[in-house]
Amino acid sequence: SYELTQPPSVSVSPGQTASITCSGDKLGDKYASWYQQSPGQSPVLVIYQDGKRPSGIPERFSGSNSGNTATLTISGTQAMDEADYYCQAWDSRSHVVFGGGTKLTVL
């Protein structure tokens, strides 16, 4: 089965750039989406189709996808960005696959 691998945790200082990676076999040939989940809340879409931002998502969120790795980048990270982030793609059998999640700590 297709797997997406994320680092369990990433730390960043306020105002700096945070990068969260998501790795999968030939992931660059697929489309990746990213979701933010704060404690006790439902996931929220922050990036879809590799690098598109839904309305209402700040411009500091961006995404890219190439080779075997998709990357979520948060520029000028703020304390409110501290959350869990999940990548998502579809495998060759049209099944949804989520990465294991990355806890972003802003300190």
Partner 1 sequence: QVQLVQSGAEVKMPGASVKVSCKASGYTFTSYDIHWVRQATGQGLECMGWINPNSGNTGYAQKFQGRITMTRNTSISTASMELSSLRSEDTAVYYCARVTGSIAAAEYFDSWGQGTLITVSS
Contact between 97 and partner 1 (CB under 8 A)? yes
Contact between 57 and partner 1 (CB under 8 A)? no
Q: What is the DSSP string of the chain?
A: ----B--SEEEE-TTS-EEEEEE-TTGGGS--EEEEE-TTS--EEEEBTTTB--TTS-TTEEEEEETTEEEEEESS--GGG-EEEEEEEE-TTS-EEE---EEEEE-
From 43, 27, 26, 28, select the one nearest 85 (Cα to Cα).
Answer: 43
Q: Which is nearer to partner 1, 45 or 69 (CB)?
A: 45
Q: Which is nearer to partner 1, 9 or 49 (CB)?
A: 49
14, 15, 54, 67: which one binds partner 1 (CB under 8 A): 54
10, 77, 88, 106: which one binds partner 1 (CB under 8 A): 88
2, 23, 28, 44: which one binds partner 1 (CB under 8 A): 44
Chain residues in the site for partner 1 (CB under 8 A): 30-31, 33, 35, 42-45, 48-49, 54, 86, 88, 90, 94-101
